[in-house]
Each structure stands twice: as structure tokens, then as C-alpha cells.
Structure 1
């Protein structure tokens, strides 16, 4: 719904530009775009003639674009040319021809919007069946942990809103209801295409409940979104693990001081170390530590693969940089501001946003649309350069 609204706004604001200016890379008068669309059409019919199991996915993704292109060309053939209009001597007939042209022009505009939407979706990276979603408290002590817990609740609500299944395998809380760290496995073939825009540093500005002088504090929490490909696999051999137990630290009463329930595991081949002490049982902490190690090894594997293809994915740089401030939640002014949106990135009704429903989804849809547009423009430039 939100994408359709933005496409309609864009088509209304840039109607003349899209019709007549070839300098707009997403104008259907642009030669690069027309040439690229024709190459996709030829690829589509070539794949249909030489149908093979490996091509079914690509064929399905091209289907929407090519069908929209064929409908667009059929509509164009129904428009009477300026020469034929001028040659018609009967004024009533000429008026009727103009009226028909206006109808077909409106239909063409709608078809162009539909084709653009298909093209933007086509520019997406490969789909992943699942992803690892990580929430970490950042700078700000207890206040940062309280904020991290609020973000965690917001995203859990968002997963439910989108209908995604999820499984939690790490969750460390504080005595006052804060969250140090949480890891979840989120299932859904489109989940990564939505959640990747949430990766980064989230900043909160408010007067903490523990602040007696009424001063505004600034704290942070970070979100990491790690795609999990269908063929991704991490094997952890028992012989590669060094497992240590110790007494848990922090609050927890007599149990903490007398039981060696905390577990530390070192993965000898990589040197990665993880700890778990949130559970009372040593066995449960061991299971938790193994899951955390699995997630870290998966992240390491995926980041290594990502590094080798970084040059071809410039459009996504920044979205997964944990040191980049992407959004500010200002409780005093009841607003949330996404710093990646140049115009209209500020929304009020912060409590509604933190519900993890339509407001959050609408902002992500806007980020998704702008990102897809920039990727499509970059793809057209790369394609054109390679062709020449």
C-alpha cells in the first residue's frame, strides 16, 4: 500500500519529466532504461525456449516485468500519432481521437508505474529463508539496556505484524528490566528485504526514570541483521571446543555465589569465545553458549562471503554498519527521526511507532523504495557501461 502511494505521488509530481525528459534514469523515454527492458524481454523468452530447472527462479522473477512491458507496448500502439491527428479534417473525429489518446495516456502512466514496481523488486538481492536478528545495548549503561529492551519488544511485535516465525536463542536481561543482548532466528523469505534497513545504531533521547534532576540522557542500542542462506551450514565438532565453568557474576542471590553454572566456550580453530550465565542450570547455559557460538560462526562465514562481493553491492553500504546512527527516538518531543530520509523522515506519536505496527512498517517501506530506486539507477549505469 505504501509503495503504491509513493509511486502514485512520484508519477503525479514528475509526470512531464517521466514523459519527455530522457535525462531521468527512471523515465520510460530514457534510452538506457528502454534498452535494458528489451534485454530483459529477450532474456525472458530465451529462458522460456531453453527452459531448465536452474532457470525457473529467474524466469519467475522476469515474468512480471516482461508482462508489464508487453502491455505497455500494446497500449502505445493504440495511441494516435500527432501526424494522423493533424491529417484528420473532421473536428468531431479529431476530438474523439484526442479523448481516446487521453484515456490511453492515463493507462500508460499506470502501466509504467506497475512496470517500475516490478523493476524495483527485480533489483533485490537473492532471497534468504532466514536471518539472525541481534539486539545489543550500547552506550548509556542501564538506560541503554532499558532502551534495548523496548526495541526488542518493538521488533517482536513487528515480526508478529508481518507474520514471520521466530526463535530466540539468546536473551540476557538486567534486574531492572533492561536487556543486555538478545539473538533471534527469524524465518521468512522476504524478512531480510525488510529488516536489513534496521541494522545500525538506534539513539534514544529522554529523561530516564532513574534521573532525579530531570536531565535528558542520550543512549544507544545496536541492531544487527545477518542473512542466513539456504546453503549456509556451520558444523561444530566437540573436539574443537574448550569448555570452562565458573560461578556466575552479578545479582542472583545465594545460588550465584555457590553454583558453577556459568559456561565459557572457546572455539579452538577460530579463537572465538562465548559465555552464558543467564540460566540457573549449567546444562542450559551450555546449550545457550553453543547456540551463540553457532550464530557467531555463521556471522563470520557470511561476513567473509560479503567482503568478496562488496564492490558489486555498493548500494547496501551503510545499512549494516553498526557504528552508523540511523535513527533517533526523542521522547521529550514525542518524535522519531530516521536520518537516512532527506525529507519527511520525522514522525510523531512515538508510542505508536514503538508498537511495531503500521508506522514502523511504513517507514521501512519508504527506505526500501528509495534504496531500490538507487540500486536500479546504479544497475542501469553498470549495465550500460558493460554493454559499451
Structure 2
């Protein structure tokens, strides 16, 4: 059993906060659990918002971890539309914006991240939007009309996913990216180029090395001014230039932060009774051997479950490899691993094929992989990365032999 048996208070009712609450409740049925969120929805998964929910293929309710009624039925005190104003670690209390104080045995900060703002003149134009939460959907949807001009600033996952939905909605779409490639921080230039070509085949235009200097109003539309003198008019501007961890509460309480709330391998912060989970925390990765902050569905769920287990007195090491996925048009693209470097990319298939696997090597060792419409290769890739397998590139390229077979043969050596 856990050392402290006071209430478990969780700040942030997103996916990570929800999984901490559900995990503690399943292991300690009589432990008071209070889950505090500033939205009006119960915990939900965010990735579908920029894909099936935005396109109308799925309802917002389909993203809920559990139906709203489940929390009351299971004894979780879910406080929606509530905000924590301060934490007092010495007293083990949190103060809500209403002035109410709550004591805790253990506290979990699952405060997530916020979209990085576009800091230029005119960034507050009413047609400039970000997509992070349910409340962001309606203003974006109403501007995804056939013939409308949509500009996505940033060629990361959010920008590309919304570009795909907008193109399918009949909009004229342009993606502006300051870097020389899409997804440049997470995939190789060859893989990036392959994904960009698939967007271009759907009518999306790209401008790399583009620097946005201001946004002005032009008859109600947004006029985007670029360095060099060019400009673009848009009915909708989507800003997707990264995220910032919501560390404000932790910092004010004297908790160590470094581009995220710093936690140990168990998810515990510099305050022993306080944990952090999900997008907001920077944790030592047992799989990678370094600290990392991850903004991913997998981490928001599995790392949060690990924190819940530790609080409930049944610790289990969290050693997942980073895993990311995105759906764009009819394509599913996945990334396994997060290498700091690689010196070669081996292809199973070709970049312009409708299905391929790209395997990243560092001195012959498998360090990461990407798949397009080829998800079955993720499991063997994960194992080869964990095993630090060194595989002959010619063997990896042999598409006549399933990658799972190659992995098993390599493991047997």
C-alpha cells in the first residue's frame, strides 16, 4: 500500500490525469480521488480532435476515456470547470480559484501543454486559431468551407493533420514552415519529402523557409505578410508551431522544472508527495537512457498509469519507447523511437509507394523506424531498437522476408 493514505488530488483532467485517477481507483477502491479540470468535458484523448472529430467522422464523446457517469459511479470526485490557483507543499494543500482548499496525501500535476503562441503583430486576428481542446473545434469547423483559403503555419503533426482535413473539405490549403522540411525534428529529409508529396497530390501547397512577420485585416480576412514582401490572404489561419509545458503552478510551488516538470523514473517531482504525468513532465527514459519530454498519446496514457500504480503501492517501471502516429487523408504514419542521431536510412519499399517502412541506423544499429500504412512493422522495429540490434542493411531491405522474421532471427543470434 502507498505510504500516505490521504486523498489523491490530480490537477488536470486530460488523458494523463484521467488515467492516473482510473488507475488509483482500480487498485485502491476506497482511496479518496479528486480529479480537477478546467474544461467542461470529462477526460478525453486529444489526437482525434485534429483528425476524425474535426472532419466530422467521429463525435467529441467518442474521445472520452470513460462516460461522464463512470466517475461518480466509481467514486472519483470529478471537478470540471475548476482551476487550481496555488499549491502549498508544506501544508499539502491546493487552493482553487474559488478559494476552496483541498488537502492531499499525494498530488499529481497533469497540467499538459499549451500551443506555442505566434508572437507577431496581428496574431490576435479573429481568423487566427490553434487547436488543442474541444472548445477550439467550432470556430475552425465553420471556416472549413469549400473554396475557403486555409493557411497552416507550421508543418508539424497538427499543421499537417488540419491541412489534410481542410483539403478534403474543399479548401485551398497552403502550409508555411520556417524550417527547410516538414516534421524536420522527428523524421529524415527523405521521409519528410515523401509525406509532403502525398499532401501535394491532394492539392496542398508548401512554402519552406517562410517567415511570417505580421497578420493584418483585409476586409475581414487575414492578410499574412511574409519576410521578403509576399503576402497571402486567408479565411482561416491555423498556428501549429509547437507546445509549451504548463509548469506555472509547479514553478510557483518551488518544484524543479526544465522545459517541463522534472520527475524521476517513478514520476515523482522534487517534492516527494507530488508527482507529474503526461505532456508536462520531463522524465528519465529507461528506454532511451536520457531525459525527455513527450507530447504523445502513448506517454499520456502509459506513463500516467505507471504513476497511478506507484501511488497505489504497486510500482512498475515505465520503460516504453516513444511512439507517435498520425492519420492524414487515408494514410497512417507511425514513428517508433526518438534517436538523437542516425547515419543511414534503409527503405523497405520506396518513398513514393503507398506503403513503406524506413529504418534508421546509427553505426549499423537500429535506432528508430517510420511506417506508412505498414503498422505491422512497428512491433519488430520496437524490439530491434530495445535489443540494440545490428542488422545487415541488405537483410533489412529484403521485403520478401517479413520484418518480424528478421527480428526473431536476429534475436536468436
TM bin (shorter chain): under 0.3
Pair member with larger Rg: 1
Q: Between Structure 1 and Structure 2, which shows a larger proportion of strand residues?
A: 2
Larger relative contact order, structure 1 or 2 (CA cutoff 8 Å, min sep 6): 1
TM-score, length basis structure 2? 0.22
Q: Between Structure 1 and Structure 2, which shows a larger proportion of helix residues?
A: 1
